[in-house]
Structure 1
Amino acid sequence: MDNWEEFLAPYAQAVSELELKLNSLKHQLSYANNHGPIEFVTGRVKTRESILEKMHRRHITKENIVTDMEDIAAVRIMCEFVDDIYQIVSILRKRHDMEIIEERDYIAHKKPSGYRSYHIIIRYSVELVSGTKFLKAEIQIRTLAMNFWATIEHSLNYKYKGEFPPEIAMRLRKTAEAAFLLDTEMSNIHDDIKEAEKLFAQRKRGQIEHERVEREEK
């Protein structure tokens, strides 16, 4: 790749736009329900080093990088509950500003390592000076518990270069199940949690309004 900065610029634009759109979606859903299914949104563009490493590991040629590497641009949506993930998936399927190419449900079908998340590969357009460019991007949707586990697994993966010792691999699988058990238990008291969050939001709005009235009366 002769000019990495030029190559990655459209992907950085895509991440920036997707973060903005998904955060807007977060606020819209929050306004409608006092508490929405999205906790927060993050995004990133793969580094040159990470791209080269994956090209080597997956035997991806320079000519095929745009079609064969789907996560150069990636956005992650964090949710409280597993049900929230599927709600977001349903909403994204109806959008017209992105085309879903593939869905991978690693929640219903976890990876052997214990990894759980919902991945959506999209075709997304960015407007450049040179014209419209279509590229692939990945949207990952997971709970906070899933994300905590995945972050630890990712760090250990760098240490062991993907070859976990049997004991570490076993412990990772056990902790993955523990994280999913937490998600399951939280889902079982989903309604109580939502009601508590709704009451808290109403109380907070009431307090803000009370403080506003007091300031105006002074």
Structure 2
Amino acid sequence: MQDLMMGEKPPFDLKKINPEIINSHLRETREMMLMYDCGIKEVKTKLEILNNEFQVQKERNPIEYLKSRVKSLESIVIKLHKKGYQLSVENAMEQLHDIAGIRVICSFIDDIYSVADMLKKQDDITVILEKDYIKHPKPNGYRSYHMVLEIPVFFSQKKQNVKVEVQIRTIAMDFWASLEHKLYYKETDVTSEEISGRLKKCADIIAATDIEMQSIRDVVEEWEKLSPKKNKSVEKIVENVDK
């Protein structure tokens, strides 16, 4: 595919892209976007199954909720140009790892590692890249567990391996990351150093809270194991069945 932007530099105006070139590659582009959308569905299905299995085995869900998105064409165009690649479906698929993205929001820190381990054990998933920003936070305080997975998607005439970026984080980590993104890029007279320092402090407080909440959960679970109430409820169910 030839360069759609005709030498334009970021930021790009998609209205300037040659319509004839877009039309000639419209089907190819649509197929690529469909492929990534299907890749997201495949990984989300796996996550939902694993979450349900966890509920049956341990009587709680490690995953609170899922978010997903496929990058817009404009975002793909901008990222390819920033990386110095000519715009083409081939370059997008080969050079970009985050066209398809899923955010997995967990309750506790150890749930993050449980979910990551369960995904890695799937024999049809290939882990291309892993970055642990929980054990090794970014300088700004950002914490999350990143994985780039490759998963087969079966269409009517072919099988296509699709890359999907998965970000796994706690509710608290997601809260901080979402607000940091909104606050940091607003126009303000406050120096960036001051904002960065305060955001980093918030990230550290939130990280400490995550650790404390997990510790509290461990105490509660240990208490539940020793509590006779659970056993009594099971006995009551058995009695009702016998009747």
Q: TM-score range by the shorter chain?
A: 0.7 to 0.9
1:57 to 82, 91, 97: 82
| Residue matched to 1:178 | 205
| Residue matched to 1:120 | 147
Equivalent-residue separation in structure 1 for 2:220 and 2:71 (angstroms): 36
Which sits farther off after the overlay, 10-19 or 125-134?
A: 125-134
| Residue matched to 2:45 | 20
Equivalent-residue separation in structure 1 for 2:213 and 2:69 (angstroms): 29
1:79 alignment partner AA: C
2:144–2:168 Cα contact (<8 Å) kept = yes
1:22 alignment partner AA: L
Q: Please show how residues 5-154 of structure 1 align to structure 2 within 5 Å.
A: 5-63=30-88, 64-154=91-181
| Residue matched to 2:183 | 156
TM-score normalised by structure 1 residue count: 0.81
Equivalent-residue separation in structure 2 for 1:196 and 1:41 (angstroms): 30
1:103–1:121 Cα contact (<8 Å) kept = yes
User: What is the root-mean-square deviation of aligned Cα atoms in Å?
Assistant: 2.5
Equivalent-residue separation in structure 2 for 1:144 and 1:61 (angstroms): 38
Gaps of 5+ in 1: 214-218
Equivalent-residue separation in structure 2 for 1:115 and 1:61 (angstroms): 31
In structure 2, the CA distance between the partners of 1:165 and 1:58, relative to structure 1 (3 Å rule), is farther
Equivalent-residue separation in structure 1 for 2:145 and 2:169 (angstroms): 6
2:184–2:195 Cα contact (<8 Å) kept = no
Compute the displacement of 1:31 (Å): 1.1
Compute the displacement of 1:193 (Å): 4.2
| Higher RCO (CA 8 Å, separation ≥ 6 residues) | 1
Aligned pairs, number: 201
1:39–1:78 Cα contact (<8 Å) kept = yes
Identity of aligned residues (%): 38
Gaps of 5+ in 2: 1-21
TM-score normalised by structure 2 residue count: 0.74
